[in-house]
Amino acid sequence: MTEKLAALQKRESSIQAEVDALVAADVEAVTAGAEPANSDKILRLTQDINIISTARERLRSAD
């Protein structure tokens, strides 16, 4: 169980780092007068983070 929780935490952290990079890129684009290009991907990855977080909560409560 601990291994599953650790794997989910690692995956969540990795996805969060990707989201942070995409947000930073979109902020730069918008600041330069362009349109944000990563909004859809950011939204999908944020949903993935929420799903992983829920899975971690369920694993903890089942333990």
pLDDT (tens digit per residue) in 2-61: 999 999 999 999 999 999 999 999 999 999 999 999 999 999 999 999 999 999 999 999
Could you give the CA distance from residue 59 to residue 15 in angstroms, rounded to a whole number?
Answer: 20
Alpha carbon separation from 4 to 7, 8, 9, 22, 56 (Å, rounded): 5, 6, 9, 27, 8
pTM: 0.89
Q: What pLDDT digit, counting tens, does each position of 5-19 carry?
A: 999 999 999 999 999
